[in-house]
Structure 1
Amino acid sequence: MQEIIGSRIVDVVRRAPEWGRRELETKDAPARERAEETTALMIAEALRHVDLTARAIG
C-alpha cells in the first residue's frame, strides 16, 4: 500500500501544471499559498482514489 501511495504522489507532482511549479518557488506569498493549496488538493484527491480502490479490492 505504501508503494501505491508514494507512486500516486509522484504522479501528482509530475502532472503539476507549470504555473503551479513556478508559484511554489515565488516570493509572492498569495501566489505561493495558492499553488500550495492546489498541490495539496491534487494529492488529497489522488489519495482518496487510492483509498476507494483499496476498499473496492479489500
Structure 2
Amino acid sequence: MNSPLTTTILQVLERAPQWVRHDLEAKDAVIRTRAEETLAAMISAELQDIDNQPAA
C-alpha cells in the first residue's frame, strides 16, 4: 500500500482544508458533492504535476 500513487493521494488528503473534511460528512448532497469535487480536483492537479515532472 505504499505505492507512489497511494503516497501522493495520502499527501493530498493531509493537506485538504478543514472545510472539505467537514463537508465530506454533510447530509446535504449539494455540500457533500462540492467537497468531493474539490478533493478530486486537488488529487488530479497533484497527479498532473507528477506527470509533468522530468524523468530522473
TM-score range, shorter chain: 0.7 to 0.9
1:21 aligns with 2:35: no
Contact 1:24 1:36 in 2 (8 A): yes
Alignment of 1:1-58 (within 5 A): 3-53=3-53, 56-57=54-55
The runs of 5 or more residues in structure 1 that have no matched partner are none
Alignment identity in percent? Answer: 42
Aligned residues: 55
| RMSD after superposition | 1.5
Relative contact order (C-alpha < 8 Å, sep 6+): which is higher?
1
- 2:50 and 2:28 map into 1 onto residues whose CA distance is 33
Runs of 4+ displaced beyond 3 Å: none
